[in-house]
Chains A and B, each alone.
Chain A
Amino acid sequence: MKKIMDCISAALFFMLLFMFALATIVKSDLSQTAQKYSGMPAARAAESFAADNFPIPGNWNVIYSATAIMMGQKTISGVFVDKDRLIDVITEKEAESYTDQTEIVNSFAQKYPDKTIYAMVVPTASGIYSADIPEFDPAVDQQKLIDDIYFALDGRIITLDAYNPLFSLRDEYVYFRTDSRWTSLGAFLVYGRVAPRMGLEPLNISNYDIEYADRSFYGDLYRKIRYGGVKADTINVFRNKYGSYVTGVAASADGQEFDSGSVYFRQALSQQDKYAYFLGGDYFEKVTVTTSNTSAPRLLIIKGDYANCLAPFLTPHYSEITLVDPARLDGRPLSEIADPTQYDQVMFLFDAEDFLRGEGFDGIAK
């Protein structure tokens, strides 16, 4: 009996190894493999190949995250697992690198002296819920960080405070639980507070109907660590009771054009990244929203992901809003995608993390 069990054990073990090894090879695109790992030492390339192409990666991640959290680990792949939310922590080290970005914004302001320029750096959840992050995890004080960034900006740039409105309403559903971005409610609350500083009269919440577009949204942080212990998010949409001002949305990515009649892309709800519901998420390099308020000024938003949630609230106040994602400029100058001289106002709208990363900012400077 023991011998049979021994043979079963050995056969099972090697059969599983063989099966997964074979599946790894079959799953990989061998024609692209050589290209992908060229330049790497052979040993490293082989190890990366095995890890990258291993079958059912998401499922392994689910087991790992559940076990690691059960064993007391609080941070997985840089994501802090709080009681009821996942938080992408911005560390003090990451927060050191904003000088290049502020210089680029300042030089942009000098280049276009006749434009009204706004800058809004929105804190991420790690800044608003820093009290929930234990002392040992060196989360940066984002209020101070944003103040420092604003202080480094040219005096003629109008800075917009998103920290205080979000912090004072932190118990509301202002950030997604499983995503690194803010909710429509968070964006609306900030809109209400910054609009007067932009010379706009914000629409009251009574003007909107709140629609639940999706109740099972698992965001980028969930997809990163696959921890199922946090409740799914809902995607809320603020719809103007008296009709939308939006007359058309034109978007472009990789040389292809897309049109839509709404700032909310319903087809995105069937995709993995449902945040793309808001103006396509970070997929498009340029999105232009035209409105029925034709006499209003034109606004250019140079943006990170957070702008997609806020832009719909600005549509009543502008005839055209163009959003350009510098991270998708791929080395091209901003003026090639959207000429700032064609706009009355320019807004730099980034969350703290995107601003610190400064991806594609070189294109703004050109």
Chain B
Amino acid sequence: MTVHIILFGQLTDITGVDKITVENCLDSDSMVKSLQNTYPALIQSTFVIAVDKKIISSNTLLTDQCTVALLPPFSGG
């Protein structure tokens, strides 16, 4: 099972890339944990998670080829 992750803003400073593909993440919580294992600095980052372009507020089952976006807040104006 393949999940496509898109990262925005300051999160890409941590990962160095704006797109990541992960295998075998059944739900959003395990996907975030797997990302945090690879990039520990993400543990202290604030972001919202959108699965297939819709913001989620609790652990959500992921499907093959779905897209998960991690969006941090911006303050600048």
A and B: bona fide binding partners: no
> Residues of B at under 8 Å CB distance from A?
none
